Amino acid sequence: MKHFISVKDVASVESLVRLAAGFKAAPLKDQQVGQGKILGLLFMNPSLRTRISTQVAAKNLGMEVIVFNADKDGWQLEFGDGVIMNGNTTEHVKEAAAVLGQYVDILGVRSFPGLNDKEKDYSEYIIKSFIRYSGVPVVSLESATLHPLQSLADILTMTELKPEGRKPKVVMTWAPHVKALPQAVPNSFAEWVNAWGEADFVIAHPKGYELDEKFTGRATITNNQDEALKDADFIYVKNWSSYTDYGKILNTDPSWMITAEKIKLSRQAGVMHCLPVRRNVVIADEVLDGPNSVVITQAGNRVWAAQAVLYEILKNI
Ligand code: CP
């Protein structure tokens, strides 16, 4: 593996999940692989899980880690070509990425979308600039449109908890939220579930929340949440802002929140969320505090997902 930006960078989802499960069983079994190597983690936005789990993963492989909060501690970056930099931006990504590439062996980058300009966000110009100018392998810590480390942990979680002898029914459902959120997690979850190929996959959302078909692929799509939840083995809950009416909140209908009543429609489904989650807006307390919630296992699996990805990249440098 050279870079890790999307599922397209993965030769076999099944093999990568097996590798991650192996690290979960024996976290320190490959402590020599990263000796003498440095991982840089560049955050342009907040993070709890990605920040800590990726550090733990790197340390398990013997790597040193440097975390840089570019949004707070760095110079404001310019990404435009040929720009006269007489405004607010102080450093061009051409220098910043190239300099970081002199210091670290692998570079992780987190950069959320602006949610104003769909074409610009979906061009993934930020993470692509770091790939282009850093000269080192780049790992997405969540980009404008995708969150592949999260998705790998999600697939690992479902692999561990899925029913024996049949394909699980996986339902990704939109839920309300007070803020406009990116489409990165649902886009990514959809493309990973499709690549995994081990699920009957349904996506439920109100009208106007259609995701890019490039990611949803062959999923069944419905505007009827109750119908979708029937016989579900996993309910993946997530808010996202509109892709078609880009970045807008079109609906805050509280009846889309996941409650204990809704779980009754399912086959005692495992309830998943990438976190952070707004309690009693997205998912009710009774669900998050109840036996169906697997969100802590899911977050724990972020370590093994990151470790598998770093291991695959370290093999090639
Ligand atoms: N799920 C996730 O990426 O969490 P953080 O934003 O806290 O890293």
- H or E segment to which residue 102 belongs: helix 93-103
CA distance 218 to 210: 14
The closest residue, in CA terms, to atom 5 on ligand 1 is 47
3-state helix, strand, coil in the chain (%, to 5): 40, 15, 45
The closest residue, in CA terms, to atom 3 on ligand 1 is 50
Pocket test for ligand 1, best of 41, 42, 44, 47 (most atoms within 8 A of CB): 47
What is the CB neighbour count within 10 angstroms for residue 218?
Answer: 10
The closest residue, in CA terms, to atom 1 on ligand 1 is 274
Q: 139 and 314 in contact (C-beta within 8 Å)? A: no
Side-chain-side CA neighbours of 49 within 13 Å: the count stands at 22
Which DSSP letter does residue 247 get? T
| For the CA of 275, the nearest atom of ligand 1 | 1
**Radius of gyration of the chain from Cα atoms?**
19
Side-chain-side CA neighbours of 192 within 13 Å: the count stands at 31
pTM above 0.85, yes or no: yes
Peptide bond into 276 cis (omega under 30): yes
Tokens found for residue 112: 């959320």
In tens digits, the chain (317 residues) has pLDDT values of 999 999 999 999 999 999 999 999 999 999 999 999 999 999 999 999 999 999 999 999 999 999 999 989 999 999 999 999 999 999 999 999 999 999 999 999 999 999 999 999 999 999 999 999 999 999 999 999 999 999 999 999 999 999 999 999 999 999 999 999 999 999 999 999 999 999 999 999 999 999 999 999 999 999 999 999 999 999 999 999 999 999 999 999 999 999 999 999 999 999 999 999 999 999 999 999 999 999 999 999 999 999 999 999 999 99
Calculate ∠ Cα 2-43-141, nearest 5°. 40
| For the CA of 149, the nearest atom of ligand 1 | 3
The residue ranges of DSSP E strands in 143-231, in sequence order, are 169-174, 200-204, 220-222
Q: How far, in Å, from the CA of 272 to the mean position of ligand 1? A: 14
CA distance 186 to 197: 16
CA distance 55 to 43: 13
End-to-end Cα spacing for the chain: 10
Burial of 255 (0-12, 13-18, 19+ CB in 10 A): exposed
